[in-house]
Structure 1
Amino acid sequence: MSTTQTQPLLSAALLKPALIESLTKLDPRKQFRNPVMFMTAVVAAVSTLASFTSGGQALGLNLQIALWLWFTVIFANFAEALAEGRGKARADALRSAQTETQAARLASLDDRRIELVSNRSLRRGDLVLVEAGQLIPGDGEVIDGIASVDESAITGESASVIRESGSDRCAVTGGTRVVSDTIVVRIGADPGESFLDRMIALVEGASRQKTPNEIALTVLLIGLSLIFLLVVMTLPAWASYAGISLSVPLLAALLVTLIPTTIGGLLSAIGIAGMDRLSARNLVAKSGRAVEAAGDVDTLLIDKTGTITFGNRRATHLVPVGDASREQLAEASLYASLADTTPEGKSIVELIREQKLAEADASAIANSIEFSASTRLSGADLRDGTQLRKGAVQAVLKQSNVGADAEMLRIVEKIARGGATPLAVSRNHKLLGIIALSDVVKPGIKARFDELRRMGIRTVMITGDNPLTAAAIAAEAGVDDYLAEATPEKKLELIRSAQAEGRLVAMCGDGSNDAPALAQADVGVAMNSGTPAAREAANLIDLDSDPTKLLDVVLVGKQMLISRGSLTTFSIANDVAKYFAIVPALFTGVYPALQALNVMQLRSPASAVLSAVIFNALIIVALIPLALRGTPYKPASASQLLARNLGIYGLGGLVAPFIGIKLVDLAINALGLV
């Protein structure tokens, strides 16, 4: 679990800067980014000027209206500034990891002469030597060595992680510290383009781009504002015909109370807060679009190795065949694996030595055969002429030129059905036995998949393993389906096929072979421990390298969509209610029949408008915590969510203005403000 601490929703450290920023946002160049509140600010400015041209009792009323209009604008700005402030606080914590240090730059892997340079002068492709206790000077990948790395400055995790050349766990992040051993890192980014630089820019709310849904909703709000503007512009003619005088501040106040200022004032805060909720979970979103898409995801493709299971497979047990003994199998496996530098090969050596099954004499080896992806085997030729080979079953059988007997097939099938990968070992073209390489499913992942299923998301495990192994792991992990013997092309084909059916697809992976699929998916989540190619292709990066975090991404995405829908429903219902609450009070003196619609019995047209303006401002303040925290999500269908929105926020938006405006009307009349 991450140890990252999140700030309280309305902490004192955030309130003061947010209040100051809410005033600086009155700059028209900044205010124009929110068209609804820009219109409100213009109306407030006009009302302020008009107030000073009025006199007598009208002056006090008009000034009050102008002040409450400015209050509305400032608190809408405050909501946005507060959301941005939470993101900036996270960015400041990350920025502290960007210290200038000296780096030991190498000319090449063969030339170990060191040139000490500033980490800020490093360029893409430079090689640097990093020893225990030193900070890694920049983003890159380990191309030589293995080391334990402390990533707590970035992820908040206290436990160190292993980074190793030649594996999917080779990516390192600038600002993290090597705890043990020595590694050579190839820098993968120029100054200012590092992962940490991009991460800081992304979590700062001010640099966030609006998502398509936000843009569409903004267009809707502008349309509604223009409609109400036309309505208000026609009122003076009706009022003049009826013998009523409506001042500019009164009309301005009426306009602001009718346009959708509630959602207009909180829209940006909802989006920024969604990004902040992700960063608090150690998830970095490269775009708000990806977070929104996560709210509608219905298919999840998740890579097995390193995501569903713990990293590389490990040797767990040896099974001799025929008349071979376990000791003979162990000795042959040890010699045949010494030249295998893959994690699987190293785990075989570790297993045999830990269990003290055999010892190897390096001087007895005449020729070492390194593991090759093309031959799929490794081995050793001893000085006494013995040939030892270890690798994929079919590869060893082909090299040994022998057939598989019934006993061996039974053992191989049993190991595969158990979710492990069988490797064969031979001596002088005779099969000695099978080594089982097992994947370990991460704890708690089955429960998370059950949760995703309840949310209507179909999970598909993708793996390069054979179908038997894939089926066993899929059953243990609790996924809905699996794709075995998956190549990058097959992953792409599966994603495109699902997208062609109208599905929104999320992909979770960490290897270079996952990069094409991560780029194609609607939501691509890369593990921070994965390869640079995977991190570059994805649009979300999990700093904790926990694939079950996708559930958090989906929840935050759904929260953003539901919060926006809830507040939009409330705002529109709110505006309709205010219209029918205020207009009858304005004209009831001229048209007594309208008294039947004046259900709140407001004292006068002046108190009706002022009460509506005050309520309009206070409701934004009241809804700021909901915009920042988000509407709680519970698994439900679209129709159920719509019914809940209408039942809670629609009904609430209709009822709240009648109660709120009446209470404010009683208060301002009791205080003699009108």
Structure 2
Amino acid sequence: MNHSNATQMDILNKEIIQQTFYKLLPQHAFKNPVMACVWIGTVLTIVATLMGSTSFGFGILLSLILLVTVLFANYAEAVAEAKGRGQASSLRQARENLTANKIADLNATPMVISANLLKKDDLVIIKAGEIVPADGEIIQGFATINESAVTGESAPVLREANTDRSGVIGGTKVLSDQIIVRVSNEAGNSFLDRMIALVEGANRQKTPNEIALSILLNIMTITFIVVVATLPFIGSMVGIKISLVMLIALLVCLIPTTIGGLLPAIGIAGMNRALKANVLAKSGKAVEVAGDIDVLLLDKTGTITYGDRQATAFYPLAGVSPSELRQAAMLTSFADPTPEGKSVVSLGKEMGESIREPKDAEFIQFSASTRLSGVDLARGQKIRKGAVNAILKFTQQEIKDNIELKARVEQVASKGATPLVVASNHTILGVIELSDVIKQGIKERFALLREMGIKTIMVTGDNPLTAAAIAAEAGVDDYIAEARPEDKLACIRKEQAAGKLVAMVGDGTNDAPALAQADIGLAMNSGTQAAKEAGNMVDLDSDPTKLLDVVEIGKQQLITRGALTTFSLANDVSKYFVILPALFAVAIPQLDVLNILQLSSPSSAVISALIFNALIIPMLIPLALKGVQFKPASALQLLRRNMLIYGLGGVVFPFIAIKLIDFVVSLWI
């Protein structure tokens, strides 16, 4: 470890220790009712000891143990928050001291200002070698950008205006060309600013499951407070006097202090794990809901397949020469900015065509709604290229009337490729074959999701035959062919109406309604601002398959909280067998049957139980932060594993640990 790293670690450790003691202040301590009881118990034990209600040494020792218990709980939360601050610091540093070349309009002279003065909808011009001053969308130009300051990935990415990869983020570096960006947020209120606050824990909201568990823990705590408070009255009836110090010790052992102390750390750590995977979640709720997902809606292109479909063959129909089809296809692709469109031009050139872009022609850009691109030539010829149904609609034909076209389309689709049809006016010229490749390992991942009871639905604009071939090869449960943006929205609503939680991924403006409707909407960082605002998660790597990782992170979050809750409550059962005989065995000999550990003395038993109660919190901090190891399994299998490892283990382990602690304590008391 070099000197710089050692210094940073020293600063981080000092910060954690400061926060651990700072959280002892009442305004912070009382945010966690369970640990607040221990905090109050510490104060009361000190007061009772000073008033002489118990021996001074015994009282002070109990007070110190209770104080350490609170400090360990504070330490767990401080460590989790520090990890979040450490992960967020690089994001913040990437945008410090930035300047911007602001322009009033596309033709104005740039004016250099501080990036902090930028406002929403301001225009900035960014040249090669400069840092993007704020989040926004490219409205003119294209550029390669180094996003390593944000994503950690050094490979440059292409961002281009008027595409679904037009989004740029503050702190990234333009490597080539020049772009004009429209700022999408006010200074200090960018997407990353909000994410940093969430990751650091400053604005972290509790998830529904965490709130439910907190309510349960609070009810248990109140119940045990009432029980312990009534013990002196019950004891006086049978001639048993119980000191305030012993009552506090009993209460602390009864209430679920372990999970109470670790609960905030578990919640913060879940968001930290998401950030470590380069996923920014707008709330902890989003991370946790991902663990309950029933249906995954996935685009075929870029998620199930590599997404770089390339034109690999031309199939002219009878009466059409190969050159005529190739030239027509190339003409329709000059205005098609998609990789598929560019590959049509490249393939045509490779096959010897040298056609030039026509003058005085009106180009029809590709649209997701029309699923066509093309050109209207000056001499009145209209050439179109697009999906089968779109071309049939354009030429006013039926597939059943063109047997050769149907055969060609089925031939291409049966190979898992995508057929594009080319037409000139009302004449269909032929078919282009677009080939894509299924990602390695994707079928195995879908099989694991199926084991967890998650249904996968592939969404594609391909025709049903192509969609069926790819769906079978990829191993998805269902598919939607020839899908339009509204079809995604309809599918999500249908599944939600059946009581299912749905997740989907998207990057374009036309994905925004579906992303907003889905319970988990994972937007791509490279995508449009509308998509990022609509989703409740953003993938900094812009990798659509990250949705599968998000589900695993959410599952791990739920499993971790469930496992530690089970372990904590099981611990309490063991502590009952330690503390109750210590308090009542002398006055009620029959209770000695519960003293199965045969501890040295009542005082030793109480101290040993409290020491274990304190030490178990820091012992479980690494597990709370790292998370329980995730293995795909059904809910029943997970429950059995939890009960066996964390339930049975949570009962047995305290007996062994407390017996060992008692052996050591008895040497000193």
Residue in structure 2 matched with residue 567 of structure 1 by the alignment = 564
Equivalent residue, structure 2, for 1:4: none
Shift of 1:13: 6.3
In the TM superposition, what is the alpha-carbon distance from 1:224 to its structure 2 partner? 1.2
Q: Please report how far the alpha carbon of residue 536 of structure 1 lies from its aligned counterpart in structure 2 after TM superposition.
A: 0.9
- Counterpart in the other structure of 1:17: 15
Match of 2:549 in 1: 552
- Residue number among 384, 387, 397 corresponding to 1:390 in the alignment: 384
Q: Is 2:141 aligned against 1:145?
A: yes
Cα distance change of structure 1 residues 338 and 620 upon mapping to structure 2, 3 Å threshold: closer
Q: Distance in 1 between matches of 2:221 and 2:397?
A: 81
The whole-number CA distance in structure 1 between the counterparts of 2:598 and 2:366 is 87
How far residue 458 of structure 1 moved from its aligned partner, in angstroms, is: 0.8
CA gap 1:241/1:386 in 2 versus in 1, 3 angstroms: closer
User: Structure 1 residue 595: deviation in Å?
Assistant: 2.1
Q: Does 2:623 align with 1:626?
A: yes
- Comparing 655-664 with 366-375, greater Cα deviation is found at 366-375
The runs of at least 4 aligned residues of structure 1 exceeding 6 Å deviation read: 10-13, 397-404
CA drift of 1:272 comes to 1.0
Shifted more, 136-145 versus 23-32: the winner is: 136-145
* Cα distance in 2 for residues equivalent to 1:282 and 1:375: 33
Paired AA for residue 303 in structure 2: T
* Aligned counterpart, 2:91: 94
SS in 2 for 1:391: strand
Q: Is the 8 A contact 1:14 1:82 kept in 2?
A: no
Helix, strand or coil at the partner of 2:596: coil
SS at match of 1:142: strand
Identify the range of structure 1 (324-333 vs 98-107) with the bigger mean alpha-carbon deviation. Answer: 324-333
Contact 1:448/1:548 (<8 A) preserved: no
CA distance in 1, matches of 2:503, 2:371: 34
Q: Residues 280 and 12 from structure 1, CA distance in 2 versus in 1: closer, same or farther, beyond 3 angstroms?
A: farther
Residue pairs, 1:469-508, within 5 angstroms? 469-508=466-505
Contact 2:310/2:435 (CA < 8 Å) preserved in 1?
yes
In structure 1, runs of 5+ residues without a counterpart are: 1-6
Return the offset for 1:153.
0.9
Q: Where does residue 165 of structure 1 map in the other structure?
A: 161
Structure 1 residue 82, shift from structure 2 partner:
0.7
Distance 1:48 1:397 in 2: 86
Q: What are the within-5 Å matches in structure 2 for residues 481-630 of structure 1? A: 481-630=478-627
- 317 and 184 in structure 1: CA distance in 2 versus 1, 3 angstrom threshold: farther
Q: Which residue of 2 aligns with 1:644?
A: 641
Residue aligning to 2:216: 220
Superimposed CA distance per residue, residues 477-507 of structure 1 (whole angstroms, 9 cap, x where no aligned partner): 3211111232333322222221222222111
1:295 aligns with 291
Report SS of the residue matched to 2:224.
helix
Deviations 1:310-361 (A, max 9, x none): 45644332223335443343334334433444544333223333x1522134
2:25 to 4, 24, 27: 27
C-alpha distance in 2 between matches for 1:397 and 1:228: 74
* Aligned: 1:72 with 2:66: no
Note the C-alpha offset of 1:210: 1.0
Q: Is the 8 A contact 2:448 2:632 kept in 1?
A: no
User: Deviations 1:609-641 (Å, cap 9, x if unpaired)?
Assistant: 112111111111221122112122223332332
Deviation at 1:540, TM superposition (A): 1.3
Distance 1:375 1:514 in 2: 15
Q: Secondary structure at the match of 1:206?
A: coil
Confirm whether residue 370 of structure 1 aligns to residue 367 of structure 2.
no
Moved more, 115-124 or 188-197: 115-124
Q: Return closer, same or farther for 1:324/1:598 CA change in 2, 3 Å cut-off.
A: same
Query: 1:189 and 1:272 mapped to 2: Cα distance?
Result: 26
Within the alignment, does 1:357 sit opposite 2:352 as a pair?
yes
3-state DSSP class of the match of 1:128?
strand
Which letter does structure 1 place at the counterpart of 2:585?
T
- Separation in 1, partners of 2:100, 2:353: 43
Residue pair 2:452, 2:633 contacting (<8 A) in 1 also = yes
The one-letter code of the counterpart of 1:199 is: M
Equivalent position SS for 1:145: strand
Code of the residue aligned with 2:346 in structure 1: it is E
After TM superposition, give the deviation of residue 84 of structure 1 in Å. 0.9
1:221 Cα deviation (Å)?
1.1
Matched-pair contact (CA < 8 Å) for 2:148–2:154: yes
Q: Answer whether contact 2:329 2:385 (CA < 8 A) is retained.
A: no
**Shift in Å, 1:451:** 2.1
**Cα RMSD, aligned residues only:** 2.7
| Cα 1:465–1:250 shift into 2, 3 Å | same
8 Å contact from structure 1 (residues 365, 380) kept in 2: no
State how far apart, in whole Å, the 1-side matches of 2:409 and 2:214 are.
61
Distance 1:386 1:576, change over 3 A: closer
Alpha carbons of structure 1 residues 75 and 339: separation in structure 2 relative to 1, 3 Å: closer
Mapping of 1:6-405 within 5 angstroms? Answer: 14-54=12-52, 58-109=55-106, 111-241=107-237, 243-311=239-307, 313-353=309-349, 355=350, 357-361=352-356, 365-371=359-365, 373=367, 376-379=372-375, 381=377, 387=381, 389-392=383-386, 405=402
Q: 1:13 to 1:437 in 2, by over 3 A?
A: farther
Alpha carbons 2:125, 2:179 under 8 Å: kept: yes
CA shift in 2, pair 1:84/1:607, >3 Å: same
For residues 308 and 538 of structure 1, the distance between their equivalents in structure 2, rounded to whole angstroms, comes to 20
After superposing the two structures, state which structure 1 stretch, 139-148 or 587-596, moved more.
587-596
Given the superposition, is the C-alpha separation of residues 381 and 239 from structure 1 closer, same or farther in structure 2, using an over 3 Å criterion?
Answer: closer
Distance across 2 between alignment mates of 1:647 and 1:554: 25
In 2 relative to 1, CA 185–313 (structure 1 residues): closer, same or farther, beyond 3 Å? farther
**How much has 1:266 moved relative to structure 2?**
0.7
| Structure 1 Cα separation of the partners of residues 42 and 285 of structure 2 | 34
| TM-score normalised to structure 1 length | 0.91
Q: Deviations over 1:398-424 (max 9, x none)?
A: 767888643333223322333444334
1:62·1:250 contact (CA, 8 Å) conserved in 2?
A: no
Distance change in 2, residues 1:325/1:230 (3 Å): same
Which has the larger displacement, 301-310 or 524-533?
A: 301-310
Count how many residue pairs are aligned between Structure 1 and Structure 2.
659
Deviations, residues 226-280 of structure 1 (Å, cap 9, x unaligned): 2221222223234445555433222212211111111111111111111111111
TM-score of the superposed pair, with normalisation by structure 2: 0.92
- Structure 1 residue identity aligned to 2:163: S
Pair 1:39–1:117, CA change in 2 (3 A): same
- 1:199 to partner: Cα distance: 2.0
Q: Distance in 1 between matches of 2:194 and 2:294?
A: 29
- CA 427–571 in structure 1, closer or farther in 2 if over 3 Å, else same: closer
Q: Distance in 2 between matches of 1:39 and 1:71?
A: 14
Report Cα offsets for 1:564-586 as digits up to 9, x if no partner: 12221222222122122221222
Q: Deviation string for 1:67-96 (max 9, x for gaps)?
A: 000000000110111111111100111111
Aligned partners of 1:396 and 1:572: how far apart in 2? 65
d(CA) in 1 for partners of 2:260 and 2:94? 37
2: CA distance, partners of 1:340 / 1:568: 56
SS in 1 for 2:384: strand
Q: Alpha-carbon deviations, 1:42-69, whole Å to 9, x = none?
A: 11011112222228x8000000000000
